Amino acid sequence: MTWTTLLVGVAIFVSAIGLDFADSSNTRAVAEGRPHAAARWSLLMYAFGTFGFFSVLEVSYWLAVPEAAGLYIGTLLAVRPPKAKRAPVLAVAPRPGRARRRAASARRHRVARCSARAVAGAGGETARAYAAEP
């Protein structure tokens, strides 16, 4: 392998990153209904693709390997969400039993209220207090 082939391999790698990023951005622009942006991304796709295609044909077929790696990296760069839209990282994970304890506590309070209302049904001040409660 000569230095020329190595440099062309690096150029193809970068070109493939640009090609795949342009392809993903073109798809996004088409989905958002922006025709001029989609057309500009399409021209970049044509330029990057032509360079990569003819380089692989003229220099060496082994240059398809860095081209494939560049396409992979280009997709990763184009598809990842911006930093503002990423999910926040929680510093402290919630304890798993907390929801169960709250539900059990709510059930106990509900049962206690129902029992008190049943007892209050016999009459007296407690019955009037529970009757006024919604």
pLDDT one-digit tens code per residue, 82-121: 666 666 655 555 556 666 666 666 666 665 555 555 555 5
The pLDDT assigned to 100 comes to 65
Which range (14-28, 49-63, 79-93) has the least confidence? 79-93
The pLDDT assigned to 41 comes to 92
pLDDT > 70 fraction of the chain, expressed in percent and rounded = 60
Under 8 Å CB-to-CB from 119, ≥6 apart: which residues? 126
How does the average pLDDT of the chain come out, rounded?
76
Is residue 132 scored above 80 in pLDDT?
no
Q: Which of 29, 106, 20 is nearest to 69 (CA)?
A: 20
The pLDDT assigned to 42 comes to 93
Residue 47 to residue 113: CA distance in whole angstroms: 75
Greater pLDDT, 99 or 20: 20
Torsion of CA 14, 15, 17, 23, to 10 degrees: 170
Rg (CA), the chain: 33
Displacement of CA 48 from its chain's centroid (Å) = 27
The pLDDT assigned to 49 comes to 87
Q: Which of 73, 60, 56 is nearest to 16 (CA)?
A: 73
Greater pLDDT, 98 or 68: 68
